[in-house]
Amino acid sequence: LFLSLKLEKKTKGKLQKQICQVVLDHFEKQYTAELGDAWSSVRDALTSPRCWQHALLLNRFSAGRGLEGGLAERGWRPALTAALPCLPAAFRCYLSAAPRRFPSQKHRPGRLKEYYLLNAASLLPVLALEVKDGEDVLDLCAAPGGKSVAILQCACPGHFHCNEYDDLRSRWLEQTMESFIPDALMNLITVSKLDGRQIGDLRPEFYDKVLVDAPCSNDRSWLFSGDPQQAVLRLTRRKELSSLQLQLLRSAIKALRPGGTLVYSTCTLSKAENSDVINLILSSCRNMMPVDLSEMARGVSQEFTFLGGMQQHELLVLPQKGRAWGPMYVAKLKKISST
């Protein structure tokens, strides 16, 4: 017992040392102003990695029922089982009440993985997109590929375009797709390395559904930046991200067919990269209309904590101890005309 407590104390100390004080101070000031009283419990969850939870998204192309039985025996339970209008029958996700991580599977060429480990909140943009069989779909900023894999658990698109501009992340995306998607389905998928800001001009009004999971100031990883100088540089450049996000969204809108749906998401709490970006789009693009997400929010409210006072077309998942999912911002828009 003494040894166990000693190791626990040592581990806790190590985790505490990893927190980047420069980033925490910055977040303390910004998020106290933006989130008010909610920031205190969010901060406690974000700065305590041992309370973080992981979800298992089962791969319908390989996962057998035996795996599901074993999960139940180990204390994992089906999640997102509410009668959501956007929940496909093949979509199977499991959560553990305890903050523990399931062992990851290694990439093995020619053999599909049975499950994808992820933050459960990252599934919300995919469910909001409501992809149907036969639709043409674009995942504009797709790496590392979790949301692309999740989209393919929901439906079989007519054509699925996964794009990632960064070369290293693009290779990661390709490996993810190879690990989860059978060769027969890969014929319907294009993986590209295009600048997402140019896709709208290259393929105008080509897609029924577009997901923009935008580059953002990733609050979880930034808090544990190992290099304080890199952290300061990131914080200095943080304001530039909203400009990039706006450019990506405008490109996505051009690429979207009239009547099509766009979902925008980030993994930051920052209002400048979330609500402010979407408000600018809605005020400047008269052909885009907000789509109500409140029904979906009610359907998953037993799993997630949402920030109150948001508009009906947006959600912000707040990490809390016991339901340490997020941060995840989701907004849903519809294109009503070409101009």
Beta bridge partners of 323: 320
195 labeled part of a ligand binding site: yes
Question: Residue 77 half-sphere exposure, CB side, CA atoms within 13 Å?
Answer: 7
Yes or no: say if 59 and 116 are a contact pair by the CB < 8 Å rule: yes
Decide if 290 contacts 332 (C-beta within 8 A): yes
97 marked ligand binding residue: no
Q: Is 83 known as a binding-site position?
A: no
For the beta carbon of residue 124, count every other beta carbon within 10 angstroms. Answer: 27
To the question of whether residue 51 is assigned a binding role by annotation, the answer is no
Both tokens of 339, joined, read: 């101009």
213 is in an annotated binding site: yes
Closest by Cα among 248, 338, 324, 243 to 287: 338
Q: How far apart are CA 231 and CA 224, in angstroms?
A: 9
Cβ neighbours around 186 below 10 Å, total: 13
Residue 214 annotated as part of some ligand binding site? no
156 annotated among ligand-binding-site residues: no
Compute the distance between CA of residue 181 and CA of residue 42 in angstroms, rounded to an integer: 35
Q: What is the set of active-site residues? A: 267
- Residue 204 assigned to a binding site: no
Give binding residues as ranges: 141-147, 164, 195, 213
Give binding residues for S-adenosyl-L-methionine as ranges: 141-147, 164, 195, 213
